[in-house]
């Protein structure tokens, strides 16, 4: 295989060989666009260079010479002759790598070529300008000589001729390198190629590749292209433009250009460029030609393009085209518009959406331009997507309705629900991605930063310290739930919305996706949000969350604190009424859609009163002394509540609790008019670890439901099943499947118990694991397919071996994570369930994985 291809020779070789830039230039040449001639030194040549201990082999050098000969013929120009050939040399990896070396312009110039060019152009100023620029760029990029050395000379060279400055420049090169500046154009080109190859291994590039997961062995190509000059005369210029507006997606050229300038002048910001729209009046013909080319390239590549161009003496040249970077809003609009314009198909449009960035479309973002100069106070974890600005409140009592407040807590507990629902955003010092704060905030669609351990709240609860700053209650902070950043003061917000385009895109996704997308909904308002976003059912209704609100928590406390069966039954009677109101409300809003209700799973520490005031209140309510209540709380205190008396274990000790809940569910459904087999109610038992445990609880629930049927003289269909959230349950999934109508993987607890890492404490060390590359991703955010996944797959296999059509879904936080969704789709699950605000992301991710799977 050759090492070098002229643009006219490289058809069909693709990005891996020619690099992104090279492949696009070859393609543009093939479809007849006006691009300057050139050639590509391939990535294979780069690999050969590394294999020959970073030197160009004899054969390579011969190939370069032959290719240069051909290029001279093609351009009808030469390095030695009258009609001088000048070239640019650029790096061009198969994937865009902004951390790598950039461009060297005007190679081929030397003292003789300069004289010939002056004679030809009669423009000495222009020729010296490009000569100086060349020496400066070459010295900096090939030899690493700081550019300031040249800039200084230019600044203090009043009265010196350009020719004299050239000499000074060359002198700098000689002093810095001990070598003469290379006069031979072929030598210049070889040195530039070597330096680009070497830049593949510079520190910046290596770090960038590591961060982006780019294959180290790919190597870079080098593009060598005939120069065209935007600074040639007043009919010349240069610019960069997107074929559509990258911020809004509007279908109108967006970009800028400068007359009498070379490419880097635009980036350097020395002169203010004109908007590309003003070219309509200034250079109408060029504008029309450029627009037409833009449309052609969009159609050709099926995507919005970012195009670099130069106009030389009134003639337009395209120097580069690539898919344009765009805001998440623009991405949705562009994808949908392009389908309507017939440029791309619906599946391509869906694949164009970056699900990681999608939340910004409906949750809003910071105004990027407003971030400059803002003080970054610290960083926690991205707990729940969104951005928020408000006054700091350090307790729920300080969150006042109607005010913009950020609630900052060490960790959140059910008492904070009111404050959380009123606050604009939440920050916690402790806790990871599946901690109470994050789960509840996500459910509310509230921006949340968790695990910001650099915050030290003062015991007076009037201020906190963070990285040397003291922030008082009432001070304004701005928080970013996408990346965990916390800023001092106000950062302007850009509001999000579910645009018409996004709605349309979500509808298209439904045509492709296989997974059902359900929501984790605990309240009627969750249901409304989730349905608006396209949820197809409830995958998890955490009944303990239904008690977080208002006074309901006191009835739960009463039940937990109860010393005797009678006391508990009294508390349960109250709870039955409250539960029925909630269930009926939700059943109405669900309108017959599947609804999975999980029976109580309250880690006690989340519910028990923590302060004196609450203990006294509970004592009063139960007509007991505070001491009695305090003693009972001590008795109930667990060393490790997340592995303690929770979930179904509660129902082994107090079967009446689940029985009450089952009654509440069935009575509510019947009273709501649900009938017979059309009813899709699923009752789910959490934290099952053994089959006898499950059978015992199931028996009690079935008996209670039969009683209800008798009392009501009516029956309805329902399913009774279990969560799979303990490794033991997965290992005996065949036994469990005998008894269970469905499996719903609780991947939060399954991750916690498989790794033996506490959901609430992982924050303290997971970041270190990630930083040291020991873990690639936080397993609480993205499913660990190798370990936790092995249990899931085993459970699925065992379960299906006894019940082939058993319904299998996921209701842990992973149900809203695109990478995990792809995995669950691969496994052929029936549904994933996630917080209502993540439903659109799950819909797109499910469609993408289905399309991907179809493509193989």
Rule CB under 6 A: is residue 542 a binding residue for ligand PEP?
Answer: yes
Residue that the structure tokens 């009752």 belong to: 683
Specify whether the CB–CB gap between 643 and 556 falls below 8 A: no
* Residue of 386, 746, 779, 818 interacting with ligand PEP (CB under 6 A): 746
Quote the radius of gyration of the chain (alpha carbons, Å).
33
Closest distance of CB 777 from ligand PEP, Å: 17
Q: Which of 447, 541, 811, 834 is catalytic?
A: 811
Closest distance of CB 657 from Mg ion, Å: 17
Stretch that binds ligand PEP, among 125-133, 190-198, 662-670, 741-749 (CB under 6 A): 741-749
Closest distance of CB 793 from Mg ion, Å: 19
Specify whether the CB–CB gap between 316 and 296 falls below 8 A: no
Closest distance of CB 811 from Mg ion, Å: 8
Strand (E) or helix (H) holding 221: strand 221-226
Chain centre to alpha carbon of residue 345: 24
* Residue of 478, 748, 753, 830 interacting with ligand PEP (CB under 6 A): 748
Instruction: Reply yes or no on whether 834 is catalytic.
Output: no
CA distance 92 to 199: 11
Chain centre to alpha carbon of residue 90: 30
* Residue of 725, 735, 784, 817 interacting with ligand PEP (CB under 6 A): 725
Per DSSP, the residues of 276-324 read GGGHHHHSHHHHHHHHHHHHHHHHHHTS-EEEEEEEETTEEEEEEEEEP
Q: Which is nearer to ligand PEP, 540 or 808 (CB)?
A: 540
**Phi-psi region for residue 497, left (φ > 0), alpha (ψ -120 to 50) or beta?**
beta
Q: Which is nearer to Mg ion, 533 or 694 (CB)?
A: 694
* Residue of 749, 778, 784, 822 interacting with Mg ion (CB under 5 A): 749
Rule CB under 6 A: is residue 747 a binding residue for ligand PEP?
Answer: yes
- Retrieve residue 777's tokens: 């991703």
Stretch that binds ligand PEP, among 331-339, 422-430, 485-493, 747-755 (CB under 6 A): 747-755
Q: Could you tell me which of 312, 313, 315 has the C-alpha nearest to residue 293? A: 315
- Retrieve residue 490's tokens: 């106000």
Instruction: Reply yes or no on whether 811 is catalytic.
Output: yes
Rule CB under 5 A: is residue 746 a binding residue for Mg ion?
Answer: yes
* Residue of 516, 526, 749, 778 interacting with ligand PEP (CB under 6 A): 749
Rule CB under 6 A: is residue 526 a binding residue for ligand PEP?
Answer: no
CA distance 208 to 225: 26
Site for ligand PEP in 574-603 (CB under 6 A): 601
Closest distance of CB 811 from ligand PEP, Å: 5
Rule CB under 6 A: is residue 682 a binding residue for ligand PEP?
Answer: no
* Residue of 633, 811, 842, 850 interacting with ligand PEP (CB under 6 A): 811
CB under 8 Å to 65, separation ≥6 — which residues? 186
The one of ligand PEP, Mg ion, none whose footprint includes residue 811, by CB under 5 to 8 A per kind, is ligand PEP
Strand (E) or helix (H) holding 465: strand 463-466
Closest distance of CB 686 from ligand PEP, Å: 7
- Binding track over 698-737 against Mg ion, x by CB under 5 A: ---------------------------x------------
CA distance 644 to 94: 53
Stretch that binds ligand PEP, among 45-53, 101-109, 301-309, 743-751 (CB under 6 A): 743-751
Strand (E) or helix (H) holding 544: helix 543-546
Q: Which residues pair with 27 in a beta bridge?
A: none
Q: Which of 436, 545, 605, 814 is catalytic?
A: 436
CB under 8 Å to 441, separation ≥6 — which residues? 383, 384, 420, 426, 447, 448, 481
Rule CB under 5 A: is residue 778 a binding residue for Mg ion?
Answer: no
Stretch that binds ligand PEP, among 141-149, 362-370, 453-461, 746-754 (CB under 6 A): 746-754
CB under 8 Å to 248, separation ≥6 — which residues? 327, 329, 330, 333
CA distance 298 to 293: 9
Rule CB under 6 A: is residue 606 a binding residue for ligand PEP?
Answer: no
CA geometry: angle at 543 spanning 752 and 790, to 5°?
A: 30
Site for ligand PEP in 269-308 (CB under 6 A): none
Please give the residue whose beta carbon sits closest to Mg ion in the complex.
749
Size of the site for ligand PEP (CB under 6 A): 10
Residues with a catalytic annotation lie at 436, 811
Binding site for ligand PEP (CB under 6 A): 540, 542, 601, 725, 746-749, 811-812
Binding site for Mg ion (CB under 5 A): 725, 746, 749
């Amino acid at each position: 295989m050759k090492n070098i291809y002229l643009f006219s020779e490289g058809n069909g070789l693709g990005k891996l060989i020619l690099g992104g830039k090279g492949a696009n230039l070859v393609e543009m040449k093939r479809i007849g666009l006006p691009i300057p001639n050139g050639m590509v030194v391939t990535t294979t040549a780069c690999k050969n260079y590394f294999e020959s201990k970073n030197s160009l082999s004899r054969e390579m050098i011969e190939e370069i010479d032959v290719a240069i000969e051909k290029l001279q013929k093609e351009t009808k120009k030469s390095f030695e002759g009258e009609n001088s050939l000048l070239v640019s040399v650029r790096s061009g990896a198969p994937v865009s790598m902004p951390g790598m070396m950039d461009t060297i312009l005007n190679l081929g110039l030397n003292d003789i070529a300069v004289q010939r060019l002056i004679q030809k152009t009669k423009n000495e100023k222009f020729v010296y300008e490009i000569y100086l620029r060349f020496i400066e760029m070459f010295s900096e990029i090939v030899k690493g000589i700081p550019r300031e050395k040249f800039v200084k000379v230019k600044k203090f060279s009043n009265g010196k001729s350009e020719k004299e400055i050239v000499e000074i420049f060359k002198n700098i090169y000689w002093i810095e390198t001990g070598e003469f500046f290379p006069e031979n154009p072929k030598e210049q080109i070889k040195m530039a190629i070597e330096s680009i190859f070497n830049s593949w291994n510079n520190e910046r590039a290596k770090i960038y590749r590591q961060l982006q997961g780019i294959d180290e062995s790919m190597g870079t190509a080098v593009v060598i292209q005939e120069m065209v000059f935007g600074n040639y005369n007043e009919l010349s210029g240069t610019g960069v433009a997107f074929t559509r507006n990258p911020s809004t997606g509007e279908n109108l050229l967006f970009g800028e250009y400068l007359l009498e300038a070379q490419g880097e002048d635009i980036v350097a910001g020395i002169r203010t460029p004109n908007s590309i729209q003003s070219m309509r009046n200034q250079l109408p013909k060029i504008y029309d030609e450029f627009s037409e080319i833009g449309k052609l390239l969009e159609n050709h590549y099926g995507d919005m393009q970012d195009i670099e161009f130069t106009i030389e003496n009134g003639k337009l040249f395209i120097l580069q085209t690539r898919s344009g970077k765009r805001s998440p809003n623009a991405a949705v609009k562009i994808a949908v518009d392009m389908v309507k314009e017939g440029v791309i198909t619906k599946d391509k449009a869906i694949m164009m959406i970056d699900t990681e960035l999608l939340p910004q479309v409906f949750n809003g973002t910071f105004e990027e331009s407003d971030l400059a100069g803002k003080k970054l106070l610290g960083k926690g974890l991205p707990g729940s997507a969104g951005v928020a600005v408000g006054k700091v409140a350090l307790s729920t009592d300080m969150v006042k309705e109607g005010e913009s407040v950020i609630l900052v807590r060490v960790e959140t507990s059910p008492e904070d629900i009111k404050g959380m629902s009123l606050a604009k955003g939440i920050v916690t010092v402790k806790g990871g991605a599946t901690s109470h704060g994050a789960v509840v905030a996500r459910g509310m669609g509230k921006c949340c930063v968790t695990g910001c351990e650099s915050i030290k709240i003062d015991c007076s609860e009037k201020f906190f310290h963070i990285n040397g700053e003291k922030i008082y209650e009432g001070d304004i902070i701005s928080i970013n739930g996408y990346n965990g950043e916390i800023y001092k003061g106000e950062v302007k917000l850009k509001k999000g919305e579910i645009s018409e385009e996004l709605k349309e895109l979500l509808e298209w996704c439904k045509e492709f996706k296989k997974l059902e997308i359900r929501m984790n909904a605990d309240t009627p308002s969750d249901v409304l949000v989730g349905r608006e976003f396209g949820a197809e059912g409830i995958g998890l209704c955490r009944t303990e969350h239904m008690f977080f609100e208002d006074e309901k928590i006191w009835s739960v406390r009463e039940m937990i604190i109860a010393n005797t069966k009678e006391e508990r039954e009294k508390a349960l009677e109250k709870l039955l009424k409250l539960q029925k109101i909630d269930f009926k409300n939700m059943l109405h809003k669900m309108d017959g859609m599947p609804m999975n209700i999980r029976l109580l799973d309250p880690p006690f520490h989340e519910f028990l009163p923590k302060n004196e005031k609450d203990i006294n209140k509970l004592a009063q309510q139960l007509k007991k002394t505070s001491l009695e209540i305090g003693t009972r709380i001590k008795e109930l205190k667990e060393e490790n509540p997340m592995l303690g008396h929770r979930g179904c274990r509660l129902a082994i000790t107090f079967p009446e609790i689940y029985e009450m809940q089952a009654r509440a569910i069935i009575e509510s459904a019947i009273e709501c008019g649900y009938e017979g087999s059309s009813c899709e109610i699923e009752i789910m038992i959490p934290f099952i670890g053994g089959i006898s445990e499950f059978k015992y609880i199931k028996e009690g629930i079935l008996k209670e439901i039969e009683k209800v049927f008798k009392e009501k003289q009516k029956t309805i269909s329902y399913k009774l099943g279990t969560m799979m959230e303990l490794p033991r349950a997965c290992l005996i999934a065949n036994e469990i499947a005998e008894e269970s109508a469905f499996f719903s993987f609780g991947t939060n607890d399954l991750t916690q118990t498989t790794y033996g890492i506490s959901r609430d404490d992982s924050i303290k060390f997971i970041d270190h694991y990630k930083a040291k590359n020991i873990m690639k991703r936080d397993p609480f955010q993205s499913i660990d397919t190798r370990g936790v996944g092995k249990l899931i797959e085993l459970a699925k296999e065992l379960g299906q071996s006894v019940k082939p059509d058993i319904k299998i879904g996921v209701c842990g936080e992973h149900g809203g994570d695109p990478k995990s969704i792809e995995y669950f789709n691969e496994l052929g699950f029936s549904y994933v369930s996630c917080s209502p605000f993540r439903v659109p992301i799950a819909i797109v991710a499910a469609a993408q994985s289905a399309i991907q799977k179809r493509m193989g």
